[in-house]
Amino acid sequence: MASLASLALLLVFLSNFAFTPKAYSLDDSYLPSIGNNKVMNVIDSCWRTKSNWATNRKALADCSVGFGKAAMGGKYGAIYVVTNPYDDPVNPTPGTLRYGVIQSSPLWIIFVKDMVISLENELIVNSYKTIDGRGAEVEIAYGPCITIQGVTNVIIHGISIHDCKPGNAGQVRSSPTHVGKRGGSDGDAISIFASSNVWIDHCYLARASDGLLDVIHASTAVTISNNYFSQHDKVMLLGHSDEFTADKDMKVTVVFNRFGEGLIERMPRVRLGYAHVANNRYDEWKMYAIGGSANPTIFSEGNYFVAPDYPDSKQVTKREAGNWNNWKWQSSKDVFMNGAYFVPSGYEGSPPSYTKAQSFMAAPGYMVPALTSDAGPLPCLVGKQC
C-alpha cells in the first residue's frame, strides 16, 4: 500500500507539469517527457516558451550556445520587413531581401508573408544581420543561395534553403557602396567564408549543387543548431583544404540537428580545426557520418546514430588519411543503433574549451530523438508559444 501511495503522489506531482514545456539545463536530470509535457533543448527553451516572441524577436540573439554564442546578428538594429520576393543582384529595391542584407547598419530582417525567393545570383550577407523567418514560410530555392563572406555577426533562423544552383559570373552588390565582379558561387546552400560569430538555427537544407553548409577559409566561432538536413550527398564541410593551415583556428559547434533521409556523407567532414558534434540525430548515411582529414579534433557527444542496413557502412567515422592513430577523435554518451560504431583515436580527451557563456551540458544520446524532434523551421503563430 505504501508503494501505491508513493506512486499516486508521483503522478499528482507530474500532472502539475502536463502542459509546461520541459527544458533542461546544467542542473536538470534529463527526465523524459511525460504526457503532454514536451522536452526542449537548451536553445529552444530560451525563447519558445514565450508567447510574445513576435514582439520580442531580438531575444533570440541571447539563446545560442557553443562557439557561435556571441553572434548577435541585428540585435542592436532596426526591424526590416521583406515584402517582395523579387531579386536584383546589382540594384536591389527596398522591401526585397537583398536590399536588407547588404545594408551597412545592423538589421533584424523579417517577412510579411510566405514567399519563395529565387535569387538571380548569390546573396551576399553583410555584417550584423539576422534573417528571421518565424511567422512565415520562407524558402530560398531554385537559384543561387547564401554567401557569408568576410563578415561577422550573422544569424539565419527559420527558413528553408533548397535546390540551390551555382551562381553566375558577374556583378553582385555586397553593400550600399560596393558592387563587385564575382566568379560564380559553387552552389552551396550556405557558404561561410572567412567569417566569424555566425549562428545557423532551425533551417531546412536540402538538394544543392555543391554542399549544404560549408565553413571554410579560417571561419570560426560558428554554431549550427536545430537544422534539418536531407536529400544530399556532401552535407557539411568544415575546413577549406588539407593545405589551408589557417583553418587550424576554426571552432564549430554542431548541435541538436537532425540528419534525415537521403544523406550520404560529411555530417560533418572536418579539416584541421575543432568540431564539437553534440546531441544530433543521424537517421541515415550511405558512406559515413563524421569524417575528416589533416588531423582535426572531433568530440562526438550524446549523438544518436542509426546505421544504414548496408553491412559495409556501419562505421560512423571515416579518416581521409593513413596515419591517424594520434588524431583526437573521441566519443562520449553517444547511442549506436542498428550496428553503428565509432572508431576513436588519440590518447587525450577532447572536450570543447568553452567559456562560461558558451558552455552547455550535452544530454545523453537516448534523449536526442526528443531534443531534435522540432528540427527545421517552426510553424510559429503570433501570440502563441512557438
Catalytic residues: 266
Residue listed under C-alpha cell 514560410: 137
CA distance 74 to 5: 54
For residues 341 and 245, what is the distance between their CA atoms, to the nearest angstrom? 30
Q: Which of 257, 313, 250 is nearest to 281 (CA)?
A: 257
CA distance 65 to 43: 7
CA distance 183 to 124: 13
Q: What is the three-class DSSP state of 100?
A: helix
DSSP state of 134: T
CA distance 62 to 76: 12
- The Cα–Cα gap between 147 and 102 comes to 11
